[in-house]
Each structure stands twice: as C-alpha cells, then as structure tokens.
Amino acid sequence: MARTPGQAARRDPDWEGVRLHVVSGKGGTGKTTLAAALALALAADGGRVLLIEVEGRQGIAELFGIAALPYEERRIASVARPQLGLPGEGTPGEVFALAIDTEQALLEYLEMFYKLGRAGKALQKVGFVDFATTIAPGVRDVLLTGKACEATRRKGPDGRRRYDAVVMDAPPTGRITRFLNVNSEVAGLARIGPIHTQAQAVMRVLKSPETAVHLVTLLEEMPVQETVDGIGELREAKLPVGGVMVNMVRPPVLDAAAVTAVDGDHREDVAAALGEAGLGGRSRRAEAVRAAVDPLLDPLLEQAREHAERVELEREQRADLQQLRLPTYELPLLGEGVDLSGLYRLAGELKRQGAA
C-alpha cells in the first residue's frame, strides 16, 4: 500500500471525494510543511484550496515568506503542474490561507447566534473571551473546527462550493482526537442550545466521507509509535483516518549487501580500496599508502556502522507503519532546508504518489 518516490502513481488520487484534509503529527515532524505542500498539490489541477492554521504560530506565513496572516482568507499562491515538476499544463489553481484567531472566532460566533454586535466587543475588552475558552477548552475547539467545517461546506452565489478542498494544519498527534471529537468535549457543558447544535454540525462533517485525518511522521521510533497510537485513538473515536506521510526520508548510501556486511572485519579491504582510489599520492610504496590510509579507516568504518544501524531502524519503523494498512507517502529530506522551491518539490512528490 505504501508508495515511494520512485514508484508510478495511479492516475486517480487516493482521496477522491475528500474535501477536508486534517493534517496532524508529532512536533518536529514537519506537519505544517506537509499541510502546505498538500494544499499546493490539491490546487495544481486548477482547484481552489483553503489552508487553515489553528495554533496561532503563523507557520504558514513563515513558509510562504509573507506577512503574518490576519483573521481573513487571503490568496497566498498560484500553482500549476509544471511548478511541481509534473507533466501537462492545465489551468493554474489557487491556494488561500487563514489563521484562525480564537478570540475573533468567538466574537463571530456570538454575533452569528446571539447578535451581540458591540456587546461582543465589550466582552472582549473585559477578558471574557480568554475566560470562556480557558474554563471550557472544548468550546475553543468547536470554534476552530467549526470554522474549517463551515469553509468546507460554504457555497458561492453560483451555488458551487467556494473551495474544492480545505487543508487544516491541526494540533499535534497527542491532542488530535480530543480536538476533533468536539461533540463529546462539549456534551457536559451544553446539552441544548447553539453550542450543542454547532458541535453536532461540526461532527457531521468530521465523521463524513468528506473528511480524512492524515498523520505526519519520521522513520524514528517515537514519532512512529505516536502515529500508531494516534491512529488507534482516531479509529476508536470513529473519526476518518487518512494516510501516513513519512517526512525527511534520507536516501540509503549503502546497498543491502553492504549494510549486511558492515559488521565484519573489513579494514584490509577498505584500505586496499582507498589505495586504489589514489590515497597516498603517486607513490606505490605500501608504507606511504598505509600512512595516508590508516587515519581514515576507523572514522569511515564507524560511519558505515552508524549508517547500517539507521537503515535497520528505518526498516523496522517501515514495518510498523505497514501494519496500519494505510496509504503511505514518503517525502525526501531536503538538505538545503524547506524554502518555497522545496515546498513545491514536496507538493510534486505528494501529487505523484497519489495523495492529491
């Protein structure tokens, strides 16, 4: 089920019909980066995609090199297939972004359901918003997820959906199930009334075939274990599990045979190979070659052992991920860091592998 960058992708994407893509992952795995890359990939065939941030870190603005996002939807990128290194032309798509501010979302909610208007702004001044979302964090999550669900279902004057897809850069894996399972979180606070109604409406979207929750991981023990646990929690809560995005995958330096043989005593073989490669200069004297080669042997062999250990660890982590039986996408480690061109490269990989 897993696809690696070298494999041919199916013509149809894995998530046909999904309109809300929720992207989570352990801190440090690059979930914001891959949420942005997924939004670009989804827009590449002429779509309109909204990328939403809910944690207030302005990570999207930093990735795209733009000013901090206000609480309004703004166009941040145009993207076409050639920009992602994909064949074909087609109509360029657009990516919009929104950083949801809890305070503004609550004021919008109060105006929508209670018509408070200026009274809502007065509540803001006396600190009511912070008070309300602190004592009832479930209300905060209803506001954040509710905004994403509203954007997913919103229609324009022509009756068509405003966005072809919405991508949410969601909280980390350890909190994602509780964040999305808002109906149970507010059940003890509001059994009737607008908050209860809003929570139910949100859950109808989140538990529908229109939603998929994707998890980002690295090929390391802790992120993989957290991914396995997170998917178990999502399934238990009957939330729609999407795919697994394996980020920062490094290409193997040694082939399988070399990895298997690395534990043996290869000092003489490596020394001979270094000599044949020209170490020791033009001298053919064994002493000169040995003097040049000896200082390099131990560091090289140690690096080979470390690489072999990493390859074996990654093999074990891949096996654990395969047990989940989910579509899996592998994204390369960008040695130069993730700038805008790197972001488009990752988007191309996701598109090629069928994630969009």
Mean pLDDT, the chain, rounded, equals 82
Assign 3-class secondary structure to the chain: CEECCCCCCCCCCCCCCCCEEEEEECCCCCHHHHHHHHHHHHHCCCCEEEEEECCCCCHHHHHHCCCCCCCCCEEEEEECHHHHCCCCCCCCEEEEEEECCHHHHHHHHHHHHHCCCHHHHHHHHCCHHHHHHHHCHHHHHHHHHHHHHHHHHCECCCCCECCCEEEEECCCHHHHHHHHCHHHHHCCCCCCCHHHHHHHHHHHHHCCCCEEEEEEECCCHHHHHHHHHHHHHHHHCCCCEEEEEEEEECCCCCCHHHHHHCCCCCHHHHHHHHHHCCCCCCCCCHHHHHHHHHHHHHHHHHHHHHHHHHHHHHHHHHHHHHCCCCCEEEEECCCCCCCHHHHHHHHHHHHHCCCC
At residue 131, the pLDDT reads 47
Better-scored residue on pLDDT, 127 or 214: 214
Give the percent of the chain with pLDDT over 90. Answer: 55
Residue 123: band (very low, low, confident or very high) from pLDDT cuts 50, 70, 90:
very low
Q: Is 188 exposed, middle or buried (0-12, 13-18, 19+ CB in 10 A)?
A: exposed
55 vs 268, more confident = 55
Alpha-carbon span 131 to 12, nearest angstrom = 47
- Enumerate the β-bridge partners of residue 98: 52
Q: Which residues contact 89 (CB under 8 A, 6 or more apart)?
A: 80, 81, 82
pLDDT of residue 137: 61
> What is the model's pLDDT at position 353?
97
What would the pLDDT profile of 269-323 be if each residue is shown by its tens digit? 655 665 565 555 555 556 655 665 566 666 766 776 776 777 788 999 999 999 9
Apex CA 190: angle with CA 188 and CA 192, to 5°? 130
- Is the CB of residue 81 less than 8 Å from the CB of residue 45? yes
pLDDT at 214 over 80: yes
The pLDDT, as a whole number, for residue 130 is: 56
Q: Rounded distance, CA 245 to CA 44, Å?
A: 19
pTM of the complete model: 0.81
User: Is pLDDT of 193 > 80?
Assistant: no
Residue carrying the six token digits 């966005």: 163
Residue ranges, comma separated, of all CATH 3.40.50.300 domains in the chain are: 2-98+141-253+326-352
pLDDT digits (tens, 9 = 90+) for 13-48: 899 999 999 999 999 999 999 999 999 999 999 999
Which pLDDT band, with edges at 50, 70 and 90, does 195 fall under?
Answer: confident
User: 184 or 322: whose pLDDT is higher?
Assistant: 322
* Between 251 and 164, the higher pLDDT residue: 164
In degrees and rounded to multiples of 5, residue 24 shows phi and psi of: -130, 175
Residue 337 predicted with pLDDT over 50: yes
Class of domain 2-98+141-253+326-352: alpha beta
Predicted confidence at residue 189, as pLDDT, reads 56
| pLDDT top residue among 349 and 135 | 349
Q: Is the pLDDT of residue 338 over 60?
A: yes
Average pLDDT over residues 160-169: 97
- Whether 348 has a pLDDT exceeding 70, the answer reads yes
